[in-house]
Amino acid sequence: MTATTADRRRADPDLPAPRGPLSAGIAAALTGPQGTAPDPRGAAAVADPYGEDLHLALYLLYELHYRGFAGVDDDREWDPALMPVRRALEDRFLGALRADVPAGRDIDEALGDLLVESTDHEGSVAYHLEHDGEPWQLREYAALRSLYHLKEADPHAWVIPRLRGRAKAAMVAVEYDEFGAGRPENVHARLFADLMADLGLDTGYGRYVDTAPAAALATVNLMTLFGLRRALRGALVGHFACVEVTSSPGSRRLAEAMRRTGAGPAAERFYTEHVEADAVHEQVVRRDVIGGLLADEPQLAADVAFGADATVFLEDRLAAHLLDAWRGGRSALRGRPDGAGRHLTGAAGSA
């Protein structure tokens, strides 16, 4: 059994509250003896593939590969009893994505659509926040995005040992920037924690999981699913390319939203940092990461396109959730139907 110190336990996030039989079963297994796990059959096969219960259950299993949870032993990360459960949940989610995301597109089509910013801003969260967003909406957005940004670039690092040559060298170069180019104060996860502090939010890792709807959890789970399966390395590259292509214009709008609302210098800096950096990264990813990967493994072209398209599909679902709530004057967070997002807890945790 792996020993944990009192300081380490205090830093680990608490297990979130279950949202149904799947997540309740996983939570019970994680706090039970090694080798305990719920039966993956039955509930997983009929669960909503985009629903609250399935995505919290997946999130619980996936976080074992990042920072884990207070009271859960590190050895549970690769507990053989949990692997069939995770596989069943992943297959349900992945099967739905393959059914719902257009098939047969090549990567030029998939990324080409993203390289031209649409003039129809109806479904754009960044445009809404830039022009009409209220401070409490920016706080909700940051709280939900913290589930990824406090571990920014970590899921994509799993693809590095699965690449070679030009693709690997380019991927490492981009990731080096994401991790602060050797300066801990510039690690993007740290910059996002600084943004959260400017907004009066708790910067503790995983602090806002309980408030995150399934649509937000799904966007985070997707990259971990792609990252943990070597067979989906092409899809992870497609996901990363999609993120880099769309980051610069979206970050420009979000930086303006932070300026307009007086969010603070650190809040503004996180997005201004991404405007320039990701404009360069997008070129490197398209030319060298994707180009190098497909030169070595041309059979992965469809997977790269699928990864990009699946990312867009889930981001569009999250955007619809956020905008529907905000335009109706409601909170987009779970358990806060009356706009109480403006009362999000601030705190002094650390990322």
How would CATH label the architecture of 105-343?
A: Up-down Bundle (1.20)
CB 67 within 8 A of CB 113: no
Question: What is the tens place of the pLDDT at every residue in 300-345?
Answer: 999 999 999 999 999 999 999 999 999 999 999 998 644 444 557 5
Asked if 12 and 68 count as a contact pair (C-beta separation under 8 A), the reply is yes
Torsion of CA 315, 317, 320, 323, to 10 degrees: -50
pLDDT of residue 343: 54
In this predicted structure, the answer to whether residue 124 has a pLDDT above a threshold of 60 is yes
Q: Look at residue 289 and tell me whether its pLDDT is greater than 70.
A: yes
Contacts of 298 (CB under 8 A, 6+ apart): none
Following DSSP, what letter does each residue of 252-314 receive, concatenated?
HHHHHHHHHTT--HHHHHHHHHHHHHHHHHHHHIIIIIIHHHHHH-GGGHHHHHHHHHHHHHH
Quote the pLDDT of residue 42: 78
CB atoms within 10 A of CB 112: 12
> Band of the pLDDT at 351, cuts 50, 70, 90?
very low
Query: Which tens digit of pLDDT belongs to each residue from 259-270?
Result: 999 999 999 999
| CATH 1.20.910.10 segments of the chain | 105-343
The 10s digit of each residue's pLDDT in 76-116 is 999 999 999 999 999 999 999 999 998 888 888 888 877 76
Q: So what's the pLDDT on residue 278?
A: 64
Whether this model's pTM surpasses 0.85: yes
pLDDT band at 8 (very low <50, low <70, confident <90, very high): very low
- Quick one: pLDDT at residue 349? 43
DSSP 35-92: T----SSSHHHHS-TTSHHHHHHHHHHHHTTTT--TTS-GGGGG-TTTHHHHHHHHHH
- Mean pLDDT calculated for residue range 36-64: 90
Higher pLDDT, 10 or 99: 99
Give the model confidence (pLDDT) of 154-167 as tens digits: 999 999 999 999 99
Mean pLDDT, all residues of the chain: 90
How far is Cα 263 from Cα 285, in angstroms, rounded to an integer? 31
Question: What percentage of the chain's residues is helix, strand, coil (to nearest 5)?
Answer: 65, 0, 35
Q: Where are the alpha helices (DSSP H) in 101-164?
A: 107-115, 125-131, 135-149, 154-157
Tokens of 78: 């690769």
List pLDDT tens digits, range 194-244.
Answer: 999 999 999 999 999 999 999 999 999 999 999 999 999 999 999 999 998
Read off the pLDDT of each residue in 138-145 and give the average, rounded to a whole number: 98
Angle of helix 83-100 relative to helix 301-327, nearest 10 degrees, comes to 80
pLDDT of residue 313: 97
Give me the pLDDT at residue 104, please. Answer: 83
3-state SS, residue 5: coil
